[in-house]
Copies of this chain bind each other. A is one copy, B any other.
Amino acid sequence: MIRIGVIGCGNLGRGVERVISLNEDMELVGIFTRRNPAEVSTLYSHVYSMDRLMDFKDKIDVCILCGGSARDLPEQTPLITEHFNTVDSFDNHAKIPEHFQRVDEVAKASGKVSVISVGWDPGLFSINRLMGEAILPQGRTHTFWGKGVSQGHSDAIRRVDGVKLGVQYTIPKEEVIDRILAGEDVDLSTADKHIRLCYVVAEEGADEESIREAIVTMPNYFADYETRVEFITEEDFKKDHTGMPHGGRVIRLGETSPGTKQAYEFRLSLDSNPDFTASVSLAYARACYRLAKEGRTGAFTVLDIAPKYLSPKSDLDLQRDLL
């Protein structure tokens, strides 16, 4: 059994707890938190204070770090990789090389393996951006996100005066996707390729027009986008908008000779973003464990890991059943 420790009990940590039992070769040792463990409720797992993590040095094979990329992971991943093999989901694209470098030095010094930036973007989408481009060197790669809930944009809505509850869905423009798949060389910005749809429950007596105006003109978040705001009742909000669906597509539209179009597409449609990201993290925790068993050390990204490491099956079974 691969013994997994979960660091942090937000959406991703709770996702790992929900899905780990689907993997017959894994067990969850415990969830570690900086909060008071007595105040953290879980499905079935032991919750420990982060201070106790070192007691588990020989009882955990891989730690999955479920903190945030802004403040937690830049410190946590190097620190914990001094003592454990780690998987994180660092998703601040611009700072990945710097994060990789820092974690790689620690991991090489401590003899551990750390797989960073695991999930679906960065993660599975990155693999497909790379493969699409490598196989079809002449072409254009498009990434679409959604339909799905953006946490950052939902938070931004909820900070607007007069908003009681709010959620934002990022929705790809289907007509743009259709043009790409029909072979057109479309060169559009992310803002031109997506719609932002907001469902808002207004406080009693709040002015809906002012709320709408505050949202659609908000710089960085909404101003550049086609943004729609719909006001709904609290009852409808709780019925229809508390899930965390997401998904998206990577499309590489290449030409192998003039007029010969070759379309490569990867697509996810997820009822639960945290549970799927947790599932990806566990598959890469398996890879992390196996690389460590082989004596490898250092930082890895999903681009550095052969597919077979994700599967519990033997090389021969993979050749026979899946190739």
On A, residues with C-beta under 8 Å from B are 18-19, 22-24, 93, 96-97, 100, 117, 122, 124, 126-127, 129-131, 133-138, 181, 247, 254, 256-257, 259-272, 275-276, 278-280, 283, 286, 301-308, 310-312, 315-316, 318-320, 322-323
Asked whether, in the complex, the Cβ of B310 is within 8 Å of the Cβ of A137, the reply is no
Asked whether, in the complex, the Cβ of A319 is within 8 Å of the Cβ of B306, the reply is no
Asked whether, in the complex, the Cβ of B303 is within 8 Å of the Cβ of A97, the reply is no
Asked whether, in the complex, the Cβ of B263 is within 8 Å of the Cβ of A266, the reply is no
A130 to B311, CA, bound (A): 7
A117 to B286, CA, bound (A): 25
Asked whether, in the complex, the Cβ of B22 is within 8 Å of the Cβ of A279, the reply is no
Asked whether, in the complex, the Cβ of A279 is within 8 Å of the Cβ of B323, the reply is no
A134 to B19, CA, bound (A): 13
Return chain B residues, CB-CB under 8 Å to A18: 256-257
Return chain B residues, CB-CB under 8 Å to A137: 22-24
User: 29 A-B Cβ contacts within 8 A?
Assistant: A22-B137, A22-B138, A96-B320, A97-B319, A122-B323, A124-B131, A124-B135, A126-B322, A127-B307, A130-B311, A133-B322, A135-B276, A135-B283, A135-B310, A254-B279, A256-B276, A260-B272, A260-B275, A262-B269, A264-B268, A265-B265, A265-B266, A265-B268, A266-B266, A266-B267, A302-B307, A303-B306, A304-B307, A304-B308
Return chain B residues, CB-CB under 8 Å to A315: 303-304
A302 to B315, CA, bound (A): 12
A311 to B252, CA, bound (A): 15
Report if A256-B279 is in contact (Cβ < 8 Å); known contacts: A286-B134, A310-B134, A318-B303.
yes
Return chain B residues, CB-CB under 8 Å to A117: 323
A301 to B316, CA, bound (A): 11
A18 to B312, CA, bound (A): 39
A30 to B266, CA, bound (A): 35
Which 10 pairs between the two chains have the least Cβ-Cβ distance?
A: A134-B310, A256-B275, A263-B269, A265-B267, A134-B311, A303-B308, A126-B323, A22-B137, A129-B322, A134-B283
> B270, B302, B311: which contacts A263 (Cβ < 8 A)?
B270
A126 to B131, CA, bound (A): 14
Return chain B residues, CB-CB under 8 Å to A278: 256
Asked whether, in the complex, the Cβ of B100 is within 8 Å of the Cβ of A307, the reply is no
Return chain B residues, CB-CB under 8 Å to A100: 319
> B133, B260, B266, B310: which contacts A311 (Cβ < 8 A)?
B133
